[in-house]
A and B are shown apart, each in its own frame.
Chain A
Amino acid sequence: MAEPFRVLIIDDEAPARAKIRRFLASDGRFLAAGEAPDGTEALASVRRLRPELLILDIQMPGLTGFEVLENMEETKPQVIFATAYDQFALQAFEAHALDYLLKPFDQSRFARALDKAWAQLQAGRPSAEASRLQTMLSQRPLDRLVVKQDDHWIPLPLRHILRISAKGKQVLIHSDQGEFLANWTLQELEARLQCHGFARVHRSEIVALDAVAQMEPWDHSDALLILKDASHVVLSRTYRGAFLERWGGCRS
């Protein structure tokens, strides 16, 4: 018989985890490799245990289930979502035809979800479901960014962010709570933060419109933006028109 697939159970409730562990124990195809009570621990456990399947709660204190998925580094395990009541999550699952468990669920419903996950894991190649999952995550509205602070993941509300600059393959987020490196690309963030009051001002810079205190001319047709924290950012010709339209609009 093949090795059982390793499962990580992520749920903030101890009894709920115990129940899932109990259900998993009766299925020889899977092995409960570990548990995590919140998103931060989940990310650490994923790195350590490299599970093949996540049973993932959406609403958790700290990081949500979606934020856990977005911040996992290289491992991309199969996911079974579980949620008690979350309008947005349910809409997103329906819209992208993703399977999910509604709490409370019984053993037979859980077994069906396991069967489906097992079939996909057996197939061993990136499934259509996995790509639909990626699409859903990329379309999810961002109301905060998850950043790493001394080996610890914390959510950073958008209102704390002053600007974001490209730094190698990552981005550096400048906030009133310090600077954080995060695994995003500037293009991706530009697209997803545009409707939240952020604007691209330079090839390697996004600023929060509210954080711009003042603008001064600089050489050529570039300009210099002075932010609330007294830092300076170059507003390049390319982005000047679009920026001024939104910055002026937001100040008038």
Chain B
Amino acid sequence: MESSGELPWDAIAGDPVAAESFPARIWQWPRYHLRSTLLLLVLLTANGLWQGNTAYLSLRGDGSTVFWGKPFLWELTGHFAGFLCGYIPYAAATNAPWPRGRWGRFLLIHVSAGALFAVLVPFLFLGMRYGLYPLLGWGHYHYGPLALRLPMEWQKLLLTYAIICAGMSFLFQFRDRREKERREAELQVRLREVRLQALSSQLDPHFLFNALNTISSVMYESLEHTDHLLASLGQMLRDGLNSGNALWPLARELAHLEAFLDFTQARFGERMRTTLRNEPDLDTTLVPRFCLQRLVENALKHNLDTRTGTILCIEIEAERTGGRLRMAVLDNGVGFRDPVLEEGIGLGNLREVLALSYGAEGHLELGNRPGGGARVVIELPLGTSHG
């Protein structure tokens, strides 16, 4: 029985929770994402148009008579060149988002990538401008003195590079953290499911072999009774095999309990008697699988020996009280001396199933009846489908 309480860890092995965003290899080429790339192109084009307009208006304000298309072309080619080289900061930020104690590697990557960016971008936009001017009939393009122009571009480009890398590093960190949280939450859900299944789905092998033995004994006395017991065993096996959910309708629990009682009645005969009282309309209410069976099993386990000669009477009740379902199993046995200490594996499992399924809304209460005997009560919210 103990072994059925163990977690099948293999079933949930797989992804480790904390996959750090540390690149595993020395260098990795990040992948292009078409949607992000197109979005970036649209944003940069828009920014280029805005900057072009700004440049045009401020030139006009300074008294310049520059043709309106030229500032737009300058800014758009600049932005487009930046777009084409955007992979450089992307790759650098992917491989070295934070120094993390490895300053040498961090600086090497960012100094090289920054320099490459600062050289390649002007090279590209100048190429575009020198090519496009004649095509548009604007004559030759004059960039101006490089000694002034290039430092102007570089201070702009290096700052841009730094902003892009920092932004990406923060984005990666945010994404990793969210991913980790999502995976942790998923793992919690899976753990809960696995735990619930381990707790509730299995048919006790001890019961199964005893049931087979009962059948093999009863067989010598009554074929009809044997037939009935085989049908009951079939039902119990089906109930044990269809282990999808930890909760199932009360009607099925009662049918299962009836099959279980067929066996206990055959085994213990006149030594026990059971009565069942259940309110109608509760059939579809969801209850933990095998909950009543476990309570009855528990009553049998503790009471069949000490009162030889006395008939053990077990009463099973299911009723609605104030919007909740109350199930009780009462017996006339020895009762609990100390309910806390005497809560065995079976009842402990049931308590855990209730906690996992209903949180604070599910109760299991062990106590004694005023006239002697144990009284175990389960209370849970009425619900036909539980989220």
Whole-angstrom distance between the Cβ of A103 and the nearest chain B Cβ? 4
Instruction: Give Cα distance in the complex from A16 to B269, angstroms.
Output: 12
CA distance A39 to B305 in the complex (A): 8
A165 located at the interface, meaning its Cβ lies under 8 Å from any Cβ of chain B in the complex = no
Of B217, B271, B337, the residue contacting A16 (CB under 8 A) is: B217
Contacts of B370 in A (CB 8 A): none
The 9 closest A-B pairs by CB, nearest first: A62-B305, A15-B217, A84-B209, A104-B216, A103-B213, A19-B217, A61-B304, A61-B305, A38-B305
Known: A14-B269, A39-B305, A62-B304. A104 touches B212 (CB 8 A): yes
B221 interfacial by beta-carbon distance below 8 Å: yes
In the assembly, what is the distance between CA of A59 and CA of B205, in Å? 13
User: Cβ of B337: which chain A residues have Cβ within 8 Å of it?
Assistant: 177
Q: Is the CB of A16 within 8 A of B304?
A: no
Interface mask (B323-338 → A, CB under 8 Å = 1, otherwise 0)? 0000000000000010
- Is B112 part of the binding interface, using a Cβ–Cβ cutoff of 8 Å? no
Asked whether any CB of chain B lies closer than 8 Å to the CB of A236, the reply is no
CA distance A62 to B209 in the complex (A): 20
Whether B267 lies near A84 (C-beta < 8 A) is no
A205 interfacial contact with B, CB 8 Å: no
What residues of B have a CB within 8 angstroms of the CB of A39 in the complex? Answer: 305
Q: What are 8 sample pairs from A and B whose C-beta atoms fall under 8 A apart?
A: A15-B217, A15-B266, A16-B214, A18-B220, A61-B300, A61-B302, A84-B210, A152-B306
Of chain A, the residue at the smallest CB distance from B270 is: A14
Which of the residues A19, A37, A61, A103 comes within 8 Å of B220, measured between beta carbons?
A19
Among B213, B220, B300, which residue has its beta carbon within 8 angstroms of that of A22?
A: B220
Cβ-based interface call for A224 (8 A): no
Q: Kindly identify, within residues 144 to 188 of chain B, every residue whose CB is under 8 Å from any CB belonging to chain A.
A: none
Q: Compute how far the CA of A62 lies from the CA of B213 in the bound complex, rounded to whole angstroms.
A: 20
Beyond A18-B217, A61-B301, A103-B209, 4 additional contacts (C-beta under 8 Å) are: A13-B268, A15-B217, A62-B305, A103-B213
Which residues of B are found within 8 Å of A152, using beta-carbon distances? Answer: 306
Contacts of A102-160 to chain B: CB distance below 8 A: 102-106, 152, 154, 159
Interchain CA distance A104-B341 in the complex, whole Å: 35
Minimum Cβ distance to chain B for residue A57 (Å): 10
- Is there an interface contact between A13 and B267, defined as CB atoms closer than 8 Å? yes
Q: Does B380 contact A (CB under 8 A)?
A: no
The reply to whether A59 and B305 contact each other, CB–CB distance below 8 Å, is no
What residues of A have a CB within 8 angstroms of the CB of B271 in the complex?
Answer: 37
Task: Tally A residues with Cβ within 8 Å of B.
Answer: 31
How far apart are the CA atoms of A18 and B205 in the complex, in Å? 23
Interface of chain B residues 28 through 60 with chain A (CB within 8 A): none
Measured between C-beta atoms, what is the minimum distance from A100 to chain B in Å?
Answer: 13
Tell me if B215 counts as interface (CB < 8 A to partner A): yes
Residues A85 and B209 in contact, CB atoms below 8 Å apart: yes
0/1 interface trace, chain B 187-216, chain A, CB 8 Å (1 if under): 000000000000000000110111011111
* Structural contact, B217 and A13, CB atoms closer than 8 A: yes
Are B308 and A41 neighbours in the complex by a CB distance under 8 Å?
Answer: yes
Q: Given A15-B218, A15-B266, A104-B216, A63–B341 Cβ distance below 8 Å?
A: no
A111: min CB distance to chain B, Å = 15
Q: Name the contact of B206 in the complex, choosing from A13, A59, A63 (C-beta under 8 A).
A: A59
Residues facing A in B257-279 (CB within 8 A) are: 266-269, 271
B336, chain A: closest CB distance, angstroms = 13
Q: Are B267 and A12 in contact (CB under 8 A)?
A: yes
Kindly identify which residue among A12, A62, A106 contacts B306, using a CB–CB cutoff of 8 Å: A62
A84 to B217, CA, bound (A): 13
Query: Which of chain A's residues 11-27 have a Cβ closer than 8 Å to chain B?
Result: 12-16, 18-19, 22
Which residue on A lies nearest to B267, using beta carbons? Answer: A13
Hey, which chain B residues are within 8 Å of A15, CB to CB? 214, 217-218, 221, 266-267
Tell whether A78 is near chain B: CB-to-CB under 8 Å.
no
Instruction: For A106, list chain B residues within 8 Å (CB).
Output: 216
A150 to chain B, nearest CB (A): 12
Q: When the two chains form the complex, which single residue of A13, A59, A85 contacts B208, counting CB atoms closer than 8 Å?
A: A85
- The answer to whether A19 and B216 have CB atoms under 8 Å apart is yes
In the complex, what's the smallest C-beta–C-beta distance from A110 to chain B, in angstroms?
A: 11
- What residue of chain A has the Cβ atom nearest to residue B264's Cβ? A13
Q: A18-B220, A159-B341 are in contact. Are A60 and B305 (CB under 8 A)?
A: yes
Whether the pair B305, A40 counts as a contact (CB closer than 8 A) is: yes
Q: How far is the CB of A204 from chain B (nearest CB, A)?
A: 29
CB pair A86–B217 under 8 Å, yes or no, is no
C-alpha gap A154/B337 in the complex (Å): 14
* Bound complex: CA A223 to CA B55 (Å): 98
Chain B, 225-284, CB within 8 A of any chain A CB: 266-269, 271
Chain B residues lying within 8 Å of A13, measured Cβ to Cβ, are 210, 213-214, 217, 266-268
Q: Which residue of B lies closest to A157 (CB)?
A: B341
A-chain residues with CB within 8 Å of residue B213 when the two chains form the complex: 13, 16, 84, 103-104
Give chain A interface residues in 25-80, CB to chain B under 8 Å: 37-41, 59-63
Distance in angstroms from B269 CB to nearest chain A CB is 5
Name the residue on A nearest B304 (C-beta): A61
Chain B residues closer than 8 Å to A84, beta-carbon distance: 206, 209-210, 212-213
Contact among B215, B266, B301 for A104, CB-based, below 8 A: B215
> Is B221 a contact of A18 with CB atoms below 8 Å?
yes
- Give the distance in Å from the alpha carbon of A43 to the alpha carbon of B217 in the complex: 24
- How far apart are the CA atoms of A16 and B271 in the complex, in Å? 15
Q: Which residues of A contact B209 (CB under 8 A)?
A: 84-85, 102-104
The residue on B at minimum CB distance from A16 is B217
